[in-house]
Chain A
Amino acid sequence: NAGVTQTPKFQVLKTGQSMTLQCAQDMNHNSMYWYRQDPGMGLRLIYYSASEGTTDKGEVPNGYNVSRLNKREFSLRLESAAPSQTSVYFCASQPGAGENYGYTFGSGTRLTVV
Chain B
Amino acid sequence: ILNVEQSPQSLHVQEGDSTNFTCSFPSSNFYALHWYRWETAKSPEALFVMTLNGDEKKKGRISATLNTKEGYSYLYIKGSQPEDSATYLCAFTMYSGGGADGLTFGKGTHLIIQP
Does A pair with B?
yes
Q: Which residues of A contact B (CB under 8 A)?
A: 30-31, 33, 35, 40-45, 48, 50-51, 56, 58-59, 90, 94, 96-108
A to B CB contacts below 8 Å, 6 in the list: A41-B107, A59-B104, A97-B98, A98-B31, A98-B100, A99-B49
A5–chain B nearest beta-carbon distance, Å: 11
Question: Does the CB pair A100–B49 fall under 8 Å?
Answer: yes
Nearest residue (CB) in A for B5 is A42
Residues B17-50 near A (CB distance < 8 A): 31-32, 34, 36, 42-49
Our count of residue pairs bridging A and B at CB distance below 8 angstroms stands at: 77
Q: Quick one: given A42-B4, A42-B89, A43-B105, are A96 and B43 in contact (CB under 8 Å)?
A: no
Determine the chain A residues whose CB is within 8 A of the CB of B107 once the complex forms: 40-42
Q: Quick one: given A40-B107, A103-B44, A104-B46, are A48 and B89 in contact (CB under 8 Å)?
A: no
Determine the chain A residues whose CB is within 8 A of the CB of B100 once the complex forms: 30-31, 48, 50-51, 94, 96-99
Bound together, the chains give a CA A40 to CA B103 distance in angstroms of 18
Question: Contacting B102 at CB < 8 Å: which of A40, A99, A100?
Answer: A99
Determine the chain A residues whose CB is within 8 A of the CB of B99 once the complex forms: 50, 97-98
Question: Does the CB pair B98–A103 fall under 8 Å?
Answer: no
A29–chain B nearest beta-carbon distance, Å: 10
Determine the chain B residues whose CB is within 8 A of the CB of A102 once the complex forms: 34, 36, 46-49
